[in-house]
Structure 1
């Protein structure tokens, strides 16, 4: 039986994060009201601003509480000018991935009518799945002796995580085919011709693929596969790859469909989900009211689809579909924010989506 009330943890974060989260919650509330879906929100502070004041990027009690929510909506975290002693940025969102084993980052990229693209493509609708807990991030906490001569990072691939990752990829291909009419196809991007870790990754992929004979597959080297994001993006349905490869290719895919302002994402495990725009905190436009809220709004739709699967609640699916349809309508007719060729702002886009939901 589905729940009467869903608890959503909000992590607005830094820069434009609070602005786009506020916009997304407005849209989410308008859509949920139409289906009598009850949502409750608790806001937690985390990120670079908190670190500057307290020396920690997120309180331990808050990190624990976030994990008890039904889902998490995150704005953006980190500022280029705020760094730890080792020179890296504050990234509590990565800490949360590790704490809750959020091994798969789901990054859909769809070319909506009305959104300009520099690529000659008519219909792009892909999902890039990035592994997020190992790969080239595996050694993030490895101790190293200080050196001015050489520094190394560790790349690790495990069977346990890879099997879970690939099962998610094949399940997503099936769900996308049923919901959106996509082909039902999974492409692995790797560097198995050079890296032993990636040869192992491909071996595990082949084993999992055998369990899903109804889903087509392809295996491409990351260099050629990255080129095809630009030259032939229509070929992709679901793409799955290593951590850093996925970090880069998902942003290439976002660029193909208009930029990070229209690119949602969700970091998930089998039990936890954190949903957020693919863009960063953009401090250069923070407070100016021109941030594009669409990626965060579409992230709420992803969040509701994930809750629907977790709780077997069709109301969440209906609300997610309504948000997608209203957002697509506004992207087509306007207003649109400057990053995608419009002269609208955060408020006008948000209100237009709310109006579309209520029309």
Structure 2
């Protein structure tokens, strides 16, 4: 256990500063002063528009040296590189690859008080994790693809045995620590791929099958990604942990978020062996920035994931207890009807922050 932890904060763009600020207030309410020490650093689309640089080297170095990283959101209309790609995403992508944040953990849970887009789903009826391989796959081609004479564009999907092995083992470890799928209580890992068409995904599945033999207590199964997009709507209660390639995980997690109230309810943790980045799955929503109506729950739950990761990493019961209390406060606030406009309520960002902080102080 350490006396205190250095947290690098990159607020980002749009509603990023609003939800990030809310999460910091909640963290401070859950812990004694000095346990977490926050330092702010610039990055993102706004910084790019102002300076021509989306991710300063000083920010990269500070994030690498910090105990953990909190990020709000990134991206603004018109903030693009000459090749047409968004400048705002540089922060997350460069840190993923530079710090080897290979596991993107995206919990999908339907809370009491939140209405699902799916009919007839009770609170707790959706409760699974999408584990997205974060350092390889199609997104590894970022900045390295080819555009030939303005007529042909090529990006390469890369998957390595080592990369697949470690993300699959992580999936089975998460399943082993879970309570199983809501539908039947079975601890299972679902490999989501396109093995019937592409060799790269057939390779992913073959490695998955071999690693699965190391976990005989966990059920292992397969799903083709296009079918999976249907299954997550038809029978979400069947799933416990889903492991998949980078791009598939990105797409499926947005679909999944729609079943639990939207992206504002979707936390995310991106972790490696030594570093961790914690941010909500949603974008910067510049159309509502500054209005005080942004949903901070996804950011707050991401901050709770940060405490869990740090607490386990440093054997710090203070952080683990604070994470549990933040989640309980979130559950109580949602169940009481403290819902933001995206959840068909009228609560402001300030109102959500205040009710969470009051619960933590009680």
Partner of 2:206 in structure 1?
203
Q: Which secondary structure state, in structure 2, belongs to the residue aligned with residue 79 of structure 1?
A: coil
**Secondary structure of 2:49 counterpart:** helix
Write the deviation string for residues 43-73 of structure 1: whole angstroms up to 9, x where unpaired: 1010011111211112112201111111111
Calculate the TM-score normalised by the size of structure 2: 0.95
Q: Which runs of 5+ in 2 are unaligned?
A: none
CA RMSD of aligned residues (A): 1.5
**Using the alignment, how far apart are the partners of 1:131 and 1:287 within structure 2?**
34
1:304–1:320 CA contact under 8 A, matched in 2: yes
Distance in 2 separating the partners of 1:316 and 1:208: 32
Mapped partners of 1:330, 1:185: distance in 2:
31
Q: Does 1:328 find its partner at 2:328?
A: no
| Paired residue secondary structure (2:278) | strand
- Cα deviations by residue, 1:245-288 (Å, 9 ceiling, x for unpaired): 00010111111111001110011111110000000010000000
Following superposition, the deviation at residue 145 of structure 1 comes to 4.3
Which of structure 1's runs of 4+ aligned residues deviate more than 4 A?
Answer: none
Match of 2:300 among 275, 297, 300: 297
Give the match's secondary structure for 1:66: helix
Partner of 2:17: 18
In structure 1, the residue matched to 2:283 is: 280
Partner residue of 1:72? 69
Query: Structure 1 pair 145/342, CA: closer, same or farther in 2 (3 Å)?
Result: closer
Q: Is the 8 A contact 1:176 1:182 kept in 2?
A: no
CA offset at residue 156 of structure 1? 1.2
The aligned counterpart of 1:243 is: 246
Matched, 1:268 2:268: no
The answer on whether the counterparts of 1:10 and 1:43 sit within 8 Å (CA) in structure 2 is: yes
- Deviation for aligned residue 1:201: 0.2
1:170-223 deviations in Å (ceiling 9; x for gaps): 111122239x99632111100000000000000100111111111111111111
Unaligned runs of 5+ residues in structure 1 are none
> TM-score when scaled to structure 1?
0.96
Equivalent residues of 1:104, 1:269 under 8 A apart: yes
Aligned to 2:319: 316
Q: 2:141 aligns with which of 115, 139, 142?
A: 139
Three-state SS of the structure 1 residue aligned to 2:107 is strand
Residues paired across the two proteins, number: 355
Q: Secondary structure at the match of 2:153?
A: coil
Distance 2:34 2:179 in 1: 26
Q: Using the TM superposition, give the Cα deviation of residue 241 of structure 1 relative to its aligned residue in structure 2, in angstroms.
A: 0.3
Give the distance between the partners of 1:336 and 1:16, measured in 2 at CA.
17
Is the CA contact (8 Å cut-off) linking 1:37 and 1:315 kept in structure 2? no
2:146–2:155: 8 Å Cα contact kept in structure 1? no
1:32 aligns with 2:31: yes
For residue 42 of structure 1, what is the aligned residue in structure 2?
Answer: 39
